[in-house]
Copies of this chain bind each other. A is one copy, B any other.
Amino acid sequence: MAKFDIEISEVGPRDGLQSISTIMPTADKLAWIDALAAAGVPEIEVGSFVPASVLPQLADTAEVARYAREIAGLSVAVLVPNFRGAQNAILVRPTKMSIPLSVSETHSLRNVKRNHQQVLEEVKRIAQLVKSLPVDQRPKFEGGLSTAFGCTIEGAVSEDKVVELAVALMEAGCDEVGLSDTTGYANPAQVQRLVKKVWAAVGKEHLTGIHLHNTRGQGLANALAAVEVGITTVDSSMGGIGGCPAAPGASGNIVTEDLVFMLEAMGLKTGIDFDALFAARNILANALPNEPLYGFTPDAGLPKGFQRAL
């Protein structure tokens, strides 16, 4: 029996911060992560093991991850773009390590300069690296299918291709796969259809999480669709940080605060305390005074007499 009905994976420190130009000082990141964990957020993606020249915002990922690993009970996730990143990542002993594989090969070539086969070769090498570790030091290794719901370059992607690549990731040695709506193209019907198709191919236990963006305002509706069909881990970002400056109100990832409100209001336990979550938001707001924070529930407050899921 899971501790929670739905597990929130807070990706703000990675996906949020990598998408804004401001570089958050390490001390602020640690304070923010402390506050998120204190609110009961069960998993935090703390950074990405990419060269500092590519993403200076995440140059302190190793330090941040080491700190986060000392927080009791917290699952610490990191992203790695390739084998070199994984070599660096395992030194901090993350709980979870993800590598993205873009379903759009055009996007893959532009993003990581590798085609599908080349990324899958990296995945195999990383899987072997993970298996070379003592059992109690192995991170859960996830292959994240990015642009799974459509690509800004290719347009629609083939659902058969998503399924095929999910199988290939599992065969290459991943513990599980994830679905990412990198482009904010997903709709609720598509979410449910694609989750079911991937489940049919790799088994329900090997796809538990989804990563959604709010580019077209569909984030919570897509999260609802995913949860309805049986997804149990949902990525989200505090304040929806990471949005495109060209699209006012277009937050990046779905907003943690509103997602937690939806789930708890529906009677789905997340383990997260609202007052402490809003306190963490204040820490974020103070650390990023020039970045807009999205989300409605913090401003509106909880409904009168509101009770969390029991």
B296/A224 in contact, CB under 8 A? no
A133 at the interface (CB under 8 A from B): no
A142-158 contacts to B (CB < 8 Å) = 150-156
A261 at the interface (CB under 8 A from B): yes
A255 at the interface (CB under 8 A from B): yes
Q: Say whether chain A's binding surface is mostly helix, strand, loop, or mixed.
A: loop
A221/B262 in contact, CB under 8 A? yes
> A228-B228, A247-B296 provided; 13 other pairs, C-beta below 8 A?
A150-B303, A151-B304, A156-B303, A156-B304, A184-B300, A187-B262, A188-B224, A214-B296, A216-B300, A224-B224, A224-B225, A247-B299, A250-B299
Contact bitstring A283-305, B, C-beta under 8 A = 1, else 0: 00000000000111101100111
Contact bitstring A185-217, B, C-beta under 8 A = 1, else 0: 101111000000000000000000000001111
Among A184, A217, A294, the one with the most B-chain Cβ atoms within 10 Å of its Cβ is A217
Q: How far is the CB of A242 from chain B (nearest CB, A)?
A: 14
When distances are taken between beta carbons in the complex, the residues of chain B under 8 Å from A249 are 249, 294-296, 299
A300/B151 in contact, CB under 8 A? no
Contact of A303 among B155, B258, B262 (CB under 8 A): B155
A11 at the interface (CB under 8 A from B): no
A220 at the interface (CB under 8 A from B): yes
Nearest-neighbor residue (CB-CB) of A250 within chain B? B296
Q: Can you tell how many copies of this chain the complex includes?
A: 2
Q: How far is the CB of A81 from chain B (nearest CB, A)?
A: 24
Contact-size category for A: 35 or more
When distances are taken between beta carbons in the complex, the residues of chain B under 8 Å from A297 are 216-217
When distances are taken between beta carbons in the complex, the residues of chain B under 8 Å from A187 are 262, 265-266
A223 at the interface (CB under 8 A from B): yes
A237 at the interface (CB under 8 A from B): no
A267 at the interface (CB under 8 A from B): yes
A134 at the interface (CB under 8 A from B): no
Contact of A221 among B220, B250, B294 (CB under 8 A): B220
Contact of A262 among B188, B246, B294 (CB under 8 A): B188
When distances are taken between beta carbons in the complex, the residues of chain B under 8 Å from A247 are 296, 299-300
B296/A216 in contact, CB under 8 A? yes
Q: How far is the CB of A298 from chain B (nearest CB, A)?
A: 9
B189/A295 in contact, CB under 8 A? no
Among A190, A224, A261, the one with the most B-chain Cβ atoms within 10 Å of its Cβ is A224
